[in-house]
Structure 1
Amino acid sequence: MDTSRAQHAPGGTAPASRVGFRQALAFWFKLGFIGFGGPAGQISIMHQELVENRRWISERRFLHALNYCMVLPGPEAQQLATYIGWLMHRTWGGVAAGALFVLPSLLILIGLSWVYIAFGDVPLVAGLFYGIKPAVTAIVLHAAHRIGSRALKNGWLWSIAAASFVAIFALGVPFPAIVAAAALAGFAGGRIAPRHFTAGGAHGKAGRSFGPALIDDDTPTPPHARFRWSGLARVLLAGALLWSVPMAVLTLTRGWDDTLTQMGWFFTKAALLTFGGAYAVLPYVFQGAVEHYGWLSAVQMIDGLALGETTPGPLIMVVAFVGFVGGYLKSLFGAQALFLAGAAAAALVTWFTFLPSFLFILAGGPLVESTHGDLKFTAPLTAITAAVVGVILNLALFFGYHVLWPQGFAGHFDWTSALIAIGAAVALFRYKRNVIHVIAACAVIGLAAKMLLP
């Protein structure tokens, strides 16, 4: 690369002529511990570090990869890290980048889940979570507003959102059926009124340059990233083995109806339904983990979401909490190995949740690299995103019900929790405060309320 171009770059420094695997590994490891703020925050960190500061990849190539990740089910920030790691250092680079994005969060959540389930009745811990629960209700409501303001651009999409809300709230329609119906509506709407179903280009086109980059706009696609049918076949075969072998071992050794086997099967399906981010799939996880399988309670699910919000990594890592609590409470390995059962279940559900994300990148990356034009959301995906808004609103109402009426409508209304929820909503909507700050403040208020109020 001609480093003389660096004189036109901000700061006048040239990008590295090459980035070694260990150097990249150190960055991905660091990212796993500082990736707070949800996908927006994580993508912002990667952009600042990789595009602006280190200049490992150009703005246009970065956004090209991001637009592809945005149309996939799964955590887009983790998939983006996998994509860039794969582009720079082949398959192992992608696997390392994606795994290190998740691993710190998994280990932290296993530790926090154990503290929660083992010491949750201790007054200090109970008081903190008393304040956190109403904060989570406000956070989910804010997520519905945030996604809705971006996705619901016309009456057609508002109608799909309203229909999805009625379907899940009043009729109890399963989340996968809502996704399928929304996709069909989007397919039909894209033909009848295409201009109402073109919500693509969410991240726009690259309009800025931060100077020459190691992977620049005109850098040829490296040989390993070029599409080959043989390469696609190898990735698909490896993915099939990585999924089917663990499932076969679980089925043969523990049986199909065993908790671990059902967790593997359930979270495989969940991984393919995460269009629109983690909040979109939470209703499905709730329906399955709480209502169908009974792995944890509704209140525990709310607490798990709060823990997921306060740890680095993708929010969908809340599935690790679900797995830990389910494995722990079901005593899968006996009463003397409760922590081991929880940790094994958390690791297992993480494996089945994230495996498809790696396959989407390693299989689809070469196709994406064959063109550097901007990708756009299809009409079905636009409709799915609209439906997700209605589903998330239902989730917020459900959480609110369990927080404000702990014993059901026949019991008392919790005015303290209501005031905490209102305060959290004002902080999020009016003052745009950081989610972690809101949770921390509400936890302290909840603890104080438990100590001072009868």
Structure 2
Amino acid sequence: MQQQQITPPDHPIVSISFWQAFLFWLKLGFISFGGPAGQIAVMHQELVEQKRWISEKRFLHALNYCMLLPGPEAQQLAIYIGWLMHRTAGGLVAGILFVLPSLFILIALSWIYIEFGDVPIIAGLFYGIKPAVTAIVFHATYRIGSRSLKNNFLYLIAAAAFIAIFFFNVPFPLIVLSAAILGYLLSKKQPHLFAAQNAHQSKQKHYGAALIDDDTPPPAHAIFRWTQLTKILVIAALLWCIPIISLTLSLGWEHAYTQMAWFFTKAALLTFGGAYAVLPYVYQGAVNHYAWLSPTQMIDGLALGESTPGPLIMVVAFVGFVGGFNHALLGADHLFLAGTLGAVIVTWFTFLFSFVFILAGAPIIESTHNELKFTAPLTAITAAVVGVILNLALFFSYHVLWPQGFDHAFNYEAAIITIAAMIALFKFQINVLYVIFASALCGLVLYLFV
């Protein structure tokens, strides 16, 4: 593959201390807006182009691996690079700081939303944000579909997934499992259906010598060892078992906190395709089954998640906070504490596995991530996810455009904002944050003065 030569900077590449990296990961946690695409772009600009901590080829190699895993790929990429540079401690710092600022911000915003959501100004802002979120989910469906549906067979999988969840309310985990099995079985007889070059492998550029360069041998800690794998898996098992057993013994299995821990454990293992893929599952469980929050609150939570730094899947912290607050799980006198504990619990069980996948799996999967028997099931899952996200978009549309049901009036104002937001996203490719901001202002004006 021909590389485009870029004039390398004059300054030499020197070793990067743990604390230098710590400060960068801390900064990244506060500036990582724009969803996974924006977050990956920020890391590429900072680490590959400017700081030259890692080469383009090694960066893309890590990214391709992370995109095969369930969970937020941008956070996992940060863990991977942090681990590659500074062992396990570097990976832990990179991954924790990627989500910690957004956790604190979302707890504060969730409390403001619950306490002051009926204040005209706040209500007006959300009146405009909800249609924008509807447009954003439709745009996400298009983006993921255009990237992953490379042939008619994959379109068929997406259509079948949509029909299954929209008309028959088939559980999301069953759709994922069925798609994975189908992909694995068909890859043996029809491998061409799943063979596609990863888009991130094209247009590689050379930005000068990097600290971790194309030919830099893997550090000692990145070489697979059974003892290291066993150690990580045992520690991870303890970090999962101790909290959930403690919750079960102290509160009972049916308690909301325990069910949150178990539910978001399953969600963490099903997020192939990014945050939008798991949102339908979270909706099915948190809204329909457990009733931790209402459909309207779910839409509002996604709006908050889009507006804050960190991975979009951090919307689960909002779900946990609202669930703990709404149900007064620690009593009527401790509502904020109940919400905060719910947010912490769901965040812990959602992101724990991202660290496990990288710290335990990177030395193994790096040598197998291009094998079709591993990638075909994931390709089929991603295709199914497109249909599931389309169902989510229609769900949001229904609750935004007919807030009181089909038997009541159609909300023309919300429809206009939705159409304008879709034009901004599809035609002009305006940043999501700007779309949300403009929609919020429109909603405020309409709510207060019309």
TM-score normalized by structure 1? 0.96
Equivalence for 1:131:
128
Cα offset for 1:199?
3.1
The answer to whether the Cα contact below 8 Å between 2:107 and 2:340 also exists between their aligned partners in 1 is: yes
Aligned to 1:3: none
Shift in Å, 1:13:
2.1
**Partner residue in 2 for 1:118:** 115
- CA shift for structure 1 position 195: 1.1
Gaps of 5+ in 2: none
Q: Out of 212, 217, 220, which is 1:215 matched to?
A: 212
Q: How far apart in 2 are the matches of 1:206 and 1:29?
A: 30
Counterparts of residues 295-306 of structure 1 (less than 5 Å): 295-306=292-303
1:267 corresponding residue in structure 2: 264
> 1:379 & 1:265 partners in 2: Cα distance?
28
Q: Could you tell me whether the CA contact under 8 Å between 2:9 and 2:208 is conserved in 1? A: no
Kept in 1: contact 2:8–2:209 (CA 8 A): no
- Is 1:94 aligned to 2:107, yes or no? no
Which residue does the alignment assign to 2:150?
153
Percent identity (aligned): 66
- Would you say the 8 A contact 2:70–2:269 is kept in 1? yes
The equivalent position to 2:360 in structure 1, one of 350, 363, 367, is 363
Residue 374 to residue 175, structure 1, CA distance change in 2 (3 Å): closer
Contact 1:278 1:316 in 2 (8 A): yes
Q: What residue is the counterpart of 1:4 in the other structure?
A: none
| Aligned CA distance change for structure 1 residues 384 and 369 (closer, same or farther; 3 Å) | closer
Q: Could you tell me whether the CA contact under 8 Å between 1:165 and 1:393 is conserved in 2?
A: yes
The 5-angstrom pairing of residues 420-431 of structure 1 reads 420-431=417-428
> Paired residue for 1:10, among 8, 11, 18?
8
CA distance in 2, matches of 1:215, 1:206: 20
Match of 2:221 in 1: 224
**Aligned equivalent of 1:79, options 76, 80, 87:** 76
Q: Give the letter aligned to residue 149 of structure 1.
A: S
* CA 375–66 in structure 1, closer or farther in 2 if over 3 Å, else same: farther
Equivalent residue in structure 2 for 1:65, among 48, 62, 66 = 62
Query: Of 303, 308, 313, which residue of structure 2 is paired with 1:311?
Result: 308
Q: 1:97 is aligned with what amino acid? A: A
Question: Displacement of 1:452 after TM fit?
Answer: 1.7
Shift in Å, 1:221: 1.2
1:169-218 CA distances to partner (integer Å, 9 max, x unpaired)?
00100000000111122122212321121235231157321111111111
1:42 maps to what in 2?
39
Alignment of 1:347 onto 2:344: yes
Give the 3-state SS of the residue equivalent to 1:213 in structure 2: coil
The 3 A distance-change label for structure 1 pair 374 and 27 is farther
Aligned residues: 445
For residues 8 and 70 of structure 1, the distance between their equivalents in structure 2, rounded to whole angstroms, comes to 27
The answer (yes or no) to whether the contact 1:110–1:324 under 8 Å persists in 2 is yes
Match 1:171 to one of 168, 171, 185: 168
How big is the shift at 1:267?
Answer: 0.2
**Structure 1 counterpart of 2:40, one-letter code:** I
* Residue from 225, 250, 255 that aligns with 2:252: 255
Deviation string, structure 1 residues 113-151 (Cα, Å, up to 9, x no partner): 000011101111001001111111110001001111111
Query: 1:342 is paired with a residue of what secondary structure?
Result: helix
Q: Cα distance, 1:33 vs. partner? A: 0.3
* 2:448 counterpart residue number: 451
Residue from 397, 400, 405 that aligns with 1:403: 400
State the alpha-carbon separation in 2 of the partners of residues 157 and 369 from structure 1: 26
**d(CA) in 1 for partners of 2:183, 2:363:** 27
Distance in 2 (CA, whole Å) between partners of 1:374 and 1:10 is: 31
Distance change in 2, residues 1:189/1:200 (3 Å):
farther
Is 1:324 the counterpart of 2:295? The answer is no
1:52-91: CA deviation from partner (whole Å, max 9, x where unpaired): 1111111111111111100000000000000110111111
> Paired residue for 2:242, among 219, 222, 245?
245
Tell whether 2:156 aligns with 1:180.
Answer: no
- Alignment check: 8 A CA contact 1:199 1:382 kept: no
Specify the code of the residue in structure 2 equivalent to 1:11: P
TM-score by length of 2: 0.96
Provide the secondary structure at the position in 1 that maps to 2:260: helix
Of 15, 26, 47, the match for 1:29: 26
- 1:403: Cα distance to partner? 0.6
Amino acid aligned to 1:130: Y
Q: What is the CA RMSD across the aligned residues, in angstroms?
A: 1.5
